[in-house]
Amino acid sequence: MKYATWAIVAFVTLLRAIAAAKVPLTGDEAYYWEWAKHPALGYADHPPMVAYLILPFAWATANPIWIRLGFLACGVIATLAAAATARRLTGDERAGMVTALAMMLTPMLSVGFVIATPDGPLMAAWACVLYGTVRAMQSRSRADFVLLGVALAAALLSKMFAYALVAGIVAWSLAPARRALWREGLWLSFAVAAVLYAPFVAWNASHHWVTFAFAFEQRHVAEPSPIRPLTYLIALAGAYSPGLWVAATIVAMRPRNALVAWTALPLLGLLVLLNFHERIELHWVFGPYISLCVGMGTAFAPLAQRARVLWATAAAVPAAVLIPFLFAASAFPGQLYMQFRQTGSTLRNTGPFEIFTYWPLAQDVRRMADANDAVVVTDGYGFSSSLDYEAGIPPVFIGYNAQGQEAKRWYDRDMHPKRILFVDKEALIAVPGRPETKPGRPDFERRFRLACGHIEPGPGLEYSYTDPTGHTVPARRYFLTWCDEPRPNALRILRWDDGVAQASVDHVGAAR
């Protein structure tokens, strides 16, 4: 079992690397790449760990695998740490093997460890916190408590969901049998974490607490539904594979280990309740799922032989069937652009944010901008960052609050272009006789008329993609608008420096 398990781990990791090399960079990934090009102690949307992982490869534009290399490594680290945790908790190597297999065969985790998002480092740090906690509890070594503190800080610097992990560790440690851990070194773990986390807090304090506002306020849009939690749980079964999700649910209903329970159940319960109020995304349960994978390993070890065979068959077989389809899709870029929602995954490139940007569009826009001494402007930070990644177009995007304020550092404030080229999926100006341009964007048009002596519609460009299997991504049309005779402060006017349009702020909160 040992050698077969690690062979599967190596094979799935190889498949993830192939997918990471073949799938073009998504809009969010390009945005995080832009962060890495401009290092800071914090950013508007998330803590900075996602940018720090990309930072060594911020120079890369040719192949997205460089951007994703650190996230592939996170998958290996998370698997090894979770497996080691289960092995230490039970003293049984088979528990570690089961945990490693659960981590590798869950389709949704492969998405999380291929795409460059904050989820990869969160899962790796979450698993390391579990391992560090168990190791420190067993060794009572000061060095192990310090390492646990580093892991806690890494989790907190990855994503705000790590607060639930920290709270879980505190609650676990307050049981009478474990309170002595505080005297023996657990205080040191939290002191180390606080010191490492302090620069991010200080950055937020000087930036109107923007990351906390985004995480706890802006991204929450009320859409009450009494049945959404049920459909969400069904979608989770599809994304994480039915057998493994059922096994994780059994562990959640009857956890055999207090550490697993405290680090998984509170956040899971909170997310289910939150789902009555608003839509939540499938990857939000990544952290608790890491704990439940450890729980699967610890629950597997004491089972009788027949029960082990039934458990392993029911859990692993559906996952083993599903995961080849995931990687078969990733072999052809046109098939992988998925948005995971409550009802599962769909192939689309619509909605308020770009999932990806066609490479030919970026090249065409770059040529037109160079020929006209123009600055390229968009209304989406993912879109602008994708154009930068694909064609070296400086990211100038307008209309947003915190994200736009942050991005003002990314280009020359004193630039005075001869023309401005606005690129969007929706036409800025409704043109008579061209129904595809209706209804236009009156809010943006008004702002452009303040910034420019003259604006006129440019061409509409349409792009599509057909992969080697013959699957065609639906054609996507982009509309261009020229801003002629820009005023000296045109870019400032377009950035809404004198007050952000409320519609745009709401747009950010709803989309992300």
* pLDDT digit string, tens, across residues 92-107: 999 999 999 999 999 8
Q: Can you tell me the distance from the alpha carbon of 37 to that of 367, in angstroms, rounded to the nearest whole number?
A: 23
Higher pLDDT, 237 or 315: 237
| pLDDT above 70 for 347 | no
Averaged confidence pLDDT in the chain: 84
Average pLDDT (55-63) is 88
User: Which range is least confidently modeled, 71-85, 344-358, 476-490?
Assistant: 344-358
Q: Can you tell me the distance from the alpha carbon of 243 to that of 240, in angstroms, rounded to the nearest whole number?
A: 8
- Output the six-digit token pair for 505: 């702020």
Is omega for the bond preceding 439 within 30 degrees of 0, making it cis? yes
Tell how far CA 282 is from the center of its chain.
11
At 159-178, the pLDDT tens digits run: 999 999 999 999 999 999 99
Cβ 247 vs Cβ 70: under 8 Å: no
State in Å, rounded, how far the first CA of the chain is from the last one.
Answer: 42
Residue 195: exposed, middle, or buried by beta-carbon count in 10 A (0-12, 13-18, 19+)? exposed
> Which of 413-417's residues contact partners 24+ apart within 8 Å by CB, and which partners?
413/491, 415/375, 415/491, 416/486, 416/488, 417/373, 417/374, 417/375, 417/486, 417/490, 417/491
The candidate with the shortest Cα–Cα distance to 60, out of 15, 25, 26, is 25
Helix (H) or strand (E) holding 404: helix 402-407
Lookup result for tokens 């060095």 = 143
| pLDDT above 60 for 401 | no
Q: Can you tell me the distance from the alpha carbon of 82 to that of 177, in angstroms, rounded to the nearest whole number?
A: 24
Q: Quick check: pTM over 0.85?
A: yes
Burial annotation 282-292 (CB, 10 A radius, 16+ → b, else e) = bbbbbbbbbbb
Average pLDDT (356-371) is 86
User: Which range is least confidently modeled, 115-119, 374-378, 389-393, 492-496?
Assistant: 492-496
Per-residue model confidence (pLDDT) at position 346 = 35
Per-residue model confidence (pLDDT) at position 195 = 98
At 263-304, the pLDDT tens digits run: 999 999 999 999 999 999 999 999 999 999 999 999 987 776
Q: Can you tell me the distance from the alpha carbon of 398 to that of 384, in angstroms, rounded to the nearest whole number?
A: 10
Q: Can you tell me the distance from the alpha carbon of 362 to that of 367, in angstroms, rounded to the nearest whole number?
A: 9
Candidate ranges 55-59, 71-75, 343-347; pick with highest mean pLDDT: 71-75
At 208-264, the pLDDT tens digits run: 898 998 888 888 888 999 999 999 999 999 889 888 998 999 999 998 899 999 999
Q: Can you tell me the distance from the alpha carbon of 265 to that of 288, in angstroms, rounded to the nearest whole number?
A: 7
Helix (H) or strand (E) holding 365: helix 359-371
